[in-house]
Chain A
Amino acid sequence: MLALPLLVGGWVSGPQSTFETAGPVARSQTGLMYVTLIVVMAIFVIVAGVLTYATFKFKAKDESGEKAPVPPQGHGNPLVELGLIGASVFALVIIAIPTVKGIWYTYDVPEAERANAYEVTAIGYQWWFKFEYPSEQIDNVGTLVNANELVIPAGRPVRINLRTFDVIHSFWVPKLAGKVDMMPNRGNHLWLQADEPGYFWGQCAEYCGDSHAVMRFRVIALAEDEFAAWVAQQKQPARTVTAQAEAPRPALAGYTFTNPGRNAPGWTREFDSDPLGNWRKMQAVPSAEDAALIAHGRQLFQEKNCITCHTVRGHEGGGVTAPDLTHVGSRTTIAGGLLENSPENLHRWLRFPDEVKPGNKMWLGIGGMANVSMQGYVHWDPETRSFTDKRNIEVDDDEARALVAYLHSLK
């Protein structure tokens, strides 16, 4: 029965497969799953065998068989009953023992390793994740924060405090650990550990509104020295490409954009073939940059009011209700882990946020649709339940190119 997953091939492997574990917590959970699977399969083989045998053995062969003398009108056998109850209890004890062990093991970092554990706080927002690093303090700023990509040291237990900004979300990285919910007014936590450096897919697992399906994130596990280098880099303020702002030169931005439409995929096979390698590539500063375009983008970032919700530390912007963009150019994904961070995808996200992530705050505003306290791109009229013709923020293709250039310069 362990071969069953092999028989169905592709159905058990993928970026979020719970069969392909990469750390001790997920391994213990999947191991327990196999224990339960083996026990129920054993019971299944017996009961199904008896049921099949009885069905065919005692089947009336034809009409006359049905009218044959009635069979003995037996009412049951207490010894058989007690025997079966005893056997069921025994089978359940086999599951119960590792279950109880597993509950304590997965609840928190084991005592012996607690001192070595790295602590992170994950906060769920509709519909993205914020990650805070309480042990990484930046002078005069405070705690290091990152969005949608949780970078952790490999081979070391990581204790993650789980919080939420609004509704209930659930933090789930299947290859590293089972999910634990982020509950309002309740401090939850989980722990996980990546055995080796790697790149892992995660996703919100508790229904949290319109865009629950596209609330995703990544976990990137790095060797200790590479992790330290990453932290040092992240603590730096935003990178500045110096040049005078000139007229935008979109032709130089190096890509053509066509809107692929609602729900269109934002992943590529090239990226998936070596995600960690591609993550490393994203950290590097590109050799050639259009300084003028970047400067124009930085200016637009202020003019388009992005700064109200987003922070680019060292540049403009102090908003905390949206992802920190100080090093957004070094992330592999945007829009809550939904799209690869390519210029085309970022352009699409800036131009048509509602087609990427229905109901998102950048498009609709914040404060809840019935009582918008801060309008987004569009002007939502709660009375008529429709958008008015008025646009608060408009980003045309040329402006999007400049913004893409700027954001991608933030390595």
Chain B
Amino acid sequence: MEATAKASFTGHDSPAKTEKRSWLFTRPTATTGLVSWLTTVDHKRIGFLYGVCALFFFLVGGFEALLIRLQLIVPNNTLLSANTYNEMFTMHATTMIFLAVMPLSAAFFNYMMPLQIGARDVAFPRLNGFAFWVFLAGAIVLNIGWFVKSGAPDMGWFGYAPMTSHQFADRFAGDMSTDLWIMGLQILGVSSVVGSLNFIVTIINMRAPGLTMMRLPVFTWMTLFTAFLIILSFPAITIALVELMMDRSFGTGFFEVSQGGLPVLWQHLFWIFGHPEVYILILPAMGIISEILPTFSRKPLFGYPIVVFSGAVIGFLGFGVWSHHMFTTGMGTVATAAFSLATMAIAVPTGVKIFNWVGTLWGGHLSMRTPMMFALGFIWMFMFGGFSGIMHSAAPADAQQQDSYFVVAHFHYVLIGGSIFALLAGIHFWFPLMFGRKVSEKAGKLSFWIIFIGFNTTFFPMHFLGLNGMPRRTFTYDGNMGWNSANFIATIGALILGLGIAYYFYVMIWTYFKGEKVKHDVWDARTLEWAVPTYPPPAHNFHVTPTVHARDAFWYEKTHQEEIAKEKAAHAKDEESHGGIHMPSQSWFPLIVTLGLLIGAIFFVNHNYVGAIIGGAILVLGIYGWAIEGPGGYHLHVDKEGNVTRDDSH
């Protein structure tokens, strides 16, 4: 802002000591408009971008799901061709997992986790922006197929070899649908790993004073576990994808049967990633639920250490159960038994979480607001999904259930009833914080009930379809198999669910523009993110870095107001004497590096190696620019009335 205002706070009346830099490395400072979004390093804006993109792809994936269900509404339907149907279920799964649930979780990690630990931003703000842009690049690459001759990938989201080989996947010489899928997933892997490393460093290093690990909000704990799961599991699929890319592009024989390759190797590599991925999808949801239930029960989480520890145990055991996706591949008795028992063992820490959530309700004063409705819906639906999960941990029983609609029912109970319900709950819960407005209870609850009823109508009958012998991934079925009515009901349910989701979005968008404005601390909340001075929070989050004295830090603040006020005043002075609030500078380079990656990837997939090298050059030069540009940074000063001034000197 104006230098005069600045001088009065800092006492620096000498001209700013900014060194002269070439235009190439001038940091953008726009706070509104397109440039501010393209160059943003603010974790809240990045979280918002993640959220918007994730919700967009959630709608895309949902549309694909509706087409799948409409094809199956009656036997022998001809709405979709076999090939289109196969593209639909491949892209539905890929989209929902990688482009909807994971980035929606990442949206909350980005937005809430730094607030929950009382930080001003994540540890590496530019890297954070990079993670988002790379995610978007991966999403684009995955979906290019719809718009080109190759078509979307159609070998299933699991890409089992040898279905991904030239012989079985390609419809013409140079068919790149499978290559786009391989490349898209690799790019998304970069985004996830980069983002996760950032979160880990942030949580380990940037907690507010007094915020010991065992005082961390559970959502932050789950962020940490999820981040570790991502950095440990993504290497497995990256290896598999690189090997597959080698097979397809350079004629190696990792999975090529005619060269002695082993398709079962792909399955092991894929599921060593794929099973932790399941927990990558559900742990953030568990974290959100563990925030919402205490808030609306008005008491602390029951058994906090056990909930945290069971999250760690789930993450750990999650790496030892991958072969339960492969019970039918003929692993032999001992391996099957070992993975069967390990899978049962993982039910214990998961069950513990449910017990503790019920324990949290016990003795509370439950306020049945919309987020609480979704959270309770989560417990019920997740319980169903967990039970069917236990049922197919018994390998011989699973031999009848695997790749049938019973499994489809199971994981939709876990992923919609679990992850999506929790994420929808989280949107409701944190909406006042993010936008200063609140969804009307009537509209929120109505959307909950439509979604809840639609969801159960869709997926409950699928348990019976599966046990009645209907295999997955089938574009048609005959009318004499006893599957007609259950399929019909499931499709009607899907339409209801779609209606519910559409209404949910309508309500959210309406509320964003016209919703009721909220007062501070609208839910009587417990954790630190609600302690920000305004809703939505200012760019620097907190006027004064909070000091944490107890587990539910904000609750403690509210019950010890005098003590905290004194402490804050002292800390404000302290912080000012160190130059004020230190903020990260915006940067173009995350976007430039990503553009290089995107250009290179698209040309590589097209076997245009000149273009690939140009893209690679942009990427490398962008990284150099990123390094030379340096970390940057500026200071903010807040006066007693909460007015903020910017100071670009050092």
Task: Please give me the residue from chain A that is nearest to B261 by CB atom.
Answer: A185
Q: How far is the CA of A322 from the CA of B398 in the complex (A)?
A: 32
B173 sits at the interface (CB 8 A): yes
Which of B83, B298, B340 has a CB less than 8 Å from the CB of A103?
Answer: B340
Stretch at the interface among B192-200, B344-352, B443-451, B529-537: B344-352
Q: How many residues belonging to B are interface residues under a CB distance threshold of 8 Å? A: 108
> When A40-B390, A207-B156, A358-B82 are in contact, do A76 and B303 touch as well, CB less than 8 Å?
yes
Q: Assess the A80–B399 pair: CB atoms within 8 A.
A: no
Task: Decide if B163 is an interface residue (CB 8 Å cutoff).
Answer: yes
Q: Are A36 and B391 in contact (CB under 8 A)?
A: yes
- Does residue A148 face the partner (Cβ distance < 8 Å to B)? no
B173 A18 Cβ-Cβ under 8 A? no
| One of B105-113, B133-141, B353-361, B610-618 at the interface | B353-361
The answer to whether B391 and A106 touch across the interface, beta carbons within 8 angstroms, is no
Whether the pair B351, A210 counts as a contact (CB closer than 8 A) is no
Is B506 interfacial (CB-CB < 8 Å)?
Answer: no
> Does B468 reach chain A (CB closer than 8 Å)?
yes
| 348-372 of chain A: CB within 8 A of chain B | 358-359, 367-371
Q: Which of B462-510 contact A (CB under 8 A)?
A: 464-465, 467-483, 485-486
Contact pick for A66, options B257, B261, B365, CB 8 Å: B365
**Chain B proximity mask over A259-273: 1 for CB below 8 Å, otherwise 0:** 001111111010010
Q: B418-435 toward A: CB 8 Å interface, digit per residue (1/0)?
A: 000000000000000000
**Inter-chain contacts of A16 with B (CB < 8 A):** 468-470, 481
Query: In residues 352-383 of chain B, which contact A (Cβ within 8 Å)?
Result: 352, 354-356, 358-359, 361-368, 376, 379-380, 383
Q: Across the interface, do A36 and B397 meet the contact criterion of CB distance under 8 Å?
A: yes
Supposing A12-B468, A14-B483, A36-B390 touch, asked if A210 and B83 sit within 8 A by C-beta, the answer is yes
Distance of B208 from chain A, by nearest CB (Å): 21
Our pick among B163, B172, B333 for the contact of A370 (Cβ within 8 Å) is B172
1/0 contact trace for A11-25 toward B, CB 8 Å? 111111111000000
Binds B, one of A47-55, A246-254, A298-306, A391-399: A47-55
| Complex alpha-carbon distance, A50 and B355, angstroms | 10
B306 touches A81 (CB 8 A): yes
Contact B363 A32 (CB under 8 A): no
B271 on the interface (CB 8 Å rule)?
A: no
> Do B472 and A207 touch (CB < 8 A)?
yes
Are A184 and B368 interface neighbours, CB within 8 A? no
The answer to whether B631 has its CB under 8 Å from any CB of chain A is: no
A213 to B84, CA, bound (A): 13
Nearest-Cβ distance from residue A167 to partner chain B, whole angstroms = 5
Kindly list chain A residues whose C-beta atoms are within 8 Å of the C-beta of B468.
11-14, 16-19
Chain A CB within 8 A of B403 CB: yes
Least CB distance, B47 to chain A, in whole angstroms? 29
Q: How far is the CA of A13 from the CA of B390 in the complex (A)?
A: 24
Q: How far is the CA of A84 from the CA of B366 in the complex (A)?
A: 23
Is the beta-carbon distance between A358 and B81 smaller than 8 angstroms? yes
CA distance A73 to B298 in the complex (A): 8
Residues from chain A with a CB closer than 8 A to the CB of B261 are: 185
B29 cross-chain contacts in A, Cβ below 8 A = none
> Which A200-214 residues have C-beta < 8 A from chain B?
201, 203-214
Contacts known (A10-B482, A18-B467, A178-B400); A368 close to B395, Cβ less than 8 A:
no
Q: Decide yes or no: A103 and B395 within 8 Å by CB, A81-B352, A92-B344 being known contacts.
A: yes
In the assembled complex, the Cα of A89 lies from the Cα of B390 at a distance in Å of 12
Q: A84-B355, A213-B476, A263-B76 are in contact. Are A179 and B328 (CB under 8 A)?
A: yes
- Which chain A residues border B362 with CB–CB below 8 Å? 54, 58
- Within 8 Å of chain A (Cβ to Cβ): is B587? no
Check A368/B167 contact, CB under 8 A, given A76-B359, A100-B337.
yes
Report whether A30 and B400 are in contact in the complex, using a CB–CB cutoff of 8 Å.
yes
On chain A, the residues within 8 Å of B388 by CB distance are 40
Asked if A311 CB lies within 8 Å of chain B CBs, one says: no
In the complex, the answer to whether B262 meets A185 with C-beta atoms within 8 Å is yes
User: Hey, which chain B residues are within 8 Å of A172, CB to CB?
Assistant: 469, 471
Residue of A nearest to B389 (CB): A40
- Could you tell me if B396 and A103 are in contact, using CB atoms closer than 8 angstroms? yes
Residues in B neighbouring A17, C-beta threshold 8 A: 467-469, 482
Q: Does A229 contact B (CB under 8 A)?
A: no
A99 x B395 contact (CB < 8 A): yes
Q: How far is the CA of A179 from the CA of B330 in the complex (A)?
A: 10
Could you mark each residue 86-123 of chain A with 1 if its beta carbon is under 8 Å from any beta carbon of chain B, else 0?
A: 00110010011011101111110000000000000000
Determine the distance from Cα of A46 to Cα of B18 in the docked complex, in whole angstroms. Answer: 67
* B365 and A60 contacting across the interface, CB-CB below 8 Å: yes
Q: Which chain A residue has the least Cβ–Cβ distance from B349?
A: A85
Indicate if the CB atoms of A209 and B263 lie closer than 8 Å.
Answer: no
- B624 is an interface residue with CB less than 8 A from chain A: no
**B238 on the interface (CB 8 Å rule)?**
no
CB under 8 Å from chain A, chain B span 59-94: 75-78, 81-83, 86
Is A390 at the interface (CB under 8 A from chain B)?
no
Indicate if A137 sits at the interface (CB-CB under 8 A).
no
A180 near B: Cβ within 8 Å?
Answer: yes
A211: min CB distance to chain B, Å? 6
B260 within 8 A of A: yes
Q: B329, A76: Cβ atoms under 8 Å?
A: no
Determine if B391 and A37 form an interchain contact, defined as CB atoms under 8 angstroms apart: yes
Assess whether B83 is in contact with A92, with CB atoms less than 8 Å apart. Answer: no
B402 interface neighbour in A179, A201, A383, Cβ under 8 Å: A179
Inter-subunit contact B367/A60 (CB<8 Å) = yes
Interface residues of A in 208-259 (CB under 8 A from B): 208-214
Chain A contacts of B481 at CB under 8 A? 14-16, 201
Closest to A175 in B: B469
Are B330 and A188 closer than 8 Å at their CB atoms? yes
Chain B residues near A345 (CB-CB < 8 A): none
Partner of A102, one of B264, B368, B387, B394: B394
Minimum distance in angstroms from B533 CB to a CB of chain A: 24
**Considering only CB atoms, which chain A residue lies closest to B89 in the complex?**
A207
Complex contact A66–B367 (CB within 8 A): yes
Tell me the nearest residue of chain B to A367, going by C-beta: B167
Residues in A neighbouring B472, C-beta threshold 8 A: 207
Q: Does A68 contact B (CB under 8 A)?
A: yes
- Chain B residues within 8 Å of A346, by CB: none
Across the interface, do A189 and B330 meet the contact criterion of CB distance under 8 Å?
yes
CA–CA, A171 to B633, complex, Å?
A: 62
Instruction: Return the contact of B336 from the options A54, A103, A186 (Cβ within 8 A).
Output: A103
**Which of B163, B172, B399 lies in contact with A385, CB distance below 8 A?**
B172
Q: A66-B367, A383-B173 are in contact. Are A51 and B379 (CB under 8 A)?
A: yes
For the complex, give the distance between the alpha carbons of A18 and B396 in Å.
Answer: 12
Give every chain A residue within 8 A of B36 (Cβ-Cβ).
none
Cβ–Cβ < 8 Å partners of A209 in chain B: 86, 155, 163, 168
CB-nearest residue of chain A to B406: A18
Give the shortest distance, in Å, between B591 (CB) and chain A (any CB): 35
| In contact, A166 and B168 (Cβ under 8 angstroms) | yes
- Expressed in whole angstroms, the Cα–Cα distance for A35 and B483 within the complex equals 25
Query: Given the complex of chains A and B, what is the CA–CA distance between A276 and B403 in angstroms?
Result: 28
Question: Which A residues touch B83, using CB under 8 A?
Answer: 210, 358-359
CA distance A50 to B357 in the complex (A): 11
Residues of A within 8 A of B401 (CB): 33
Asked if B247 lies at the interface with its beta carbon under 8 angstroms from chain A, I say no
Given contacts A12-B467, A71-B363, could you give 14 more A-B pairs where the C-beta distance is less than 8 Å? A10-B482, A12-B464, A14-B468, A29-B397, A33-B400, A59-B368, A70-B365, A75-B302, A102-B396, A104-B333, A177-B399, A185-B260, A201-B469, A370-B172
The 3 closest A-B CB pairs, nearest first, are A178-B399, A16-B469, A14-B482
Which residues of B are in contact with A by a Cβ distance under 8 Å? 75-78, 81-83, 86, 149, 155-156, 160, 162-163, 166-168, 170-175, 257, 260-264, 297-304, 306, 328-330, 332-333, 336-337, 340-341, 344-345, 347-348, 351-352, 354-356, 358-359, 361-368, 376, 379-380, 383, 387-388, 390-391, 393-404, 461, 464-465, 467-483, 485-486
15 A-B interface contacts by CB (under 8 A) = A11-B485, A12-B468, A17-B468, A28-B396, A40-B390, A47-B383, A58-B361, A71-B299, A80-B355, A84-B355, A99-B341, A99-B394, A186-B262, A205-B471, A206-B403
